[in-house]
């Protein structure tokens, strides 16, 4: 019988994994995203190895958020996958088994007791999980296409924003406190400063940064 990793199982760890802004907006985004992942069956597992893979999938979601921060705002958050793995009580043996199933890493050396090796191993495995996560967030279960996913990520990085829905036209509008004007979702997407981040989302939220 399949079991599943619920958000309640992850909530405590999510508080440190999704911890860039102090207002908790990124944790709200992650909780909503995990609901879509669960609905798609990607939080379910049958054995302990599968359980480990689902937890690594959760870190894949975290990696997407942290990389968006890096791409959009040019401020790397320097996630530590080794510490995250420890907080999730990931078994180094099972991490090694998952690495062993990857034909590209069959001959790779992995020292389970070496903190740096654990960081790189979990970073690699969680990055590979993005191929499963991204379509869920982008498509039917998710945020409503590339534009919707981009807006959902962007809005978490604006903790002082007031989001207003224009009932007549159905367009989301965002304004910073004290701003006189409102910026619609369409204006956000076409903002020249957001072009690089939008392209990154459009191309699948691939791992980003010097370790990629």
What pLDDT sits at residue 113? 53
pLDDT at residue 209, rounded to an integer? 80
**Stretch (H or E) spanning 172:** strand 171-176
pLDDT confidence bin for 180, thresholds 50/70/90: very low
Binned at pLDDT 50, 70 and 90, residue 184 comes out as: low
Give the pTM: 0.82
Residue spans of alpha helices (H) in the chain: 7-17, 25-39, 48-73, 81-87, 92-100, 115-128, 130-138, 145-156, 185-189, 195-202
Alpha-carbon distance 44 to 205, whole Å?
23
Residue 97 pLDDT > 60, yes or no?
Answer: yes
Tokens of 179: 């701003």
- For the chain, give the mean pLDDT: 81
Quick one: pLDDT at residue 80?
A: 92
Predicted confidence at residue 92, as pLDDT, reads 92
Kindly report which listed range (5-19, 82-96, 158-172, 189-203) carries the lowest average pLDDT score.
158-172
DSSP character string of 178-212: T-SS-EEHHHHHT-GGGHHHHHHHHTT----STT-
Neighbours of 12 (CB within 10 A): 10
Count of Cβ atoms closer than 10 Å to residue 125 Cβ: 24
pLDDT for position 124:
92
């Amino acid at each position: 019988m399949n079991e599943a990793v619920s958000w309640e199982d992850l909530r405590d760890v999510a508080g440190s994994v999704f911890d860039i802004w102090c207002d908790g907006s990124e944790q709200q985004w992650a909780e909503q995203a995990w609901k879509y992942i669960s609905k798609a069956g990607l939080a379910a597992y049958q054995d302990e190895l599968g359980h480990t893979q689902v937890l690594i999938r959760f870190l894949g979601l975290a990696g997407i958020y942290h990389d968006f921060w890096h791409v959009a705002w040019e401020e790397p958050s320097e996630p530590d996958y080794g510490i995250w793995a420890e907080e999730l009580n990931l078994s180094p043996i099972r991490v090694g088994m998952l690495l062993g199933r990857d034909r590209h890493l069959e001959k790779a050396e992995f020292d389970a007791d070496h903190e740096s090796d654990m960081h790189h191993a979990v970073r690699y495995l969680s990055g590979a999980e993005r191929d499963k996560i991204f379509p869920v967030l982008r498509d039917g279960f998710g945020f409503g296409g590339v534009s919707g996913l981009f807006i959902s990520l962007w809005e978490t990085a604006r903790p002082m924003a007031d989001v207003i829905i224009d009932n007549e036209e159905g367009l989301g509008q965002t304004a910073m406190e004290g701003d006189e004007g409102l910026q619609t979702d369409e204006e956000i997407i076409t903002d020249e400063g957001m072009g690089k981040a939008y392209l990154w989302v459009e191309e699948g939220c691939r791992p980003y940064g010097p370790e990629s």
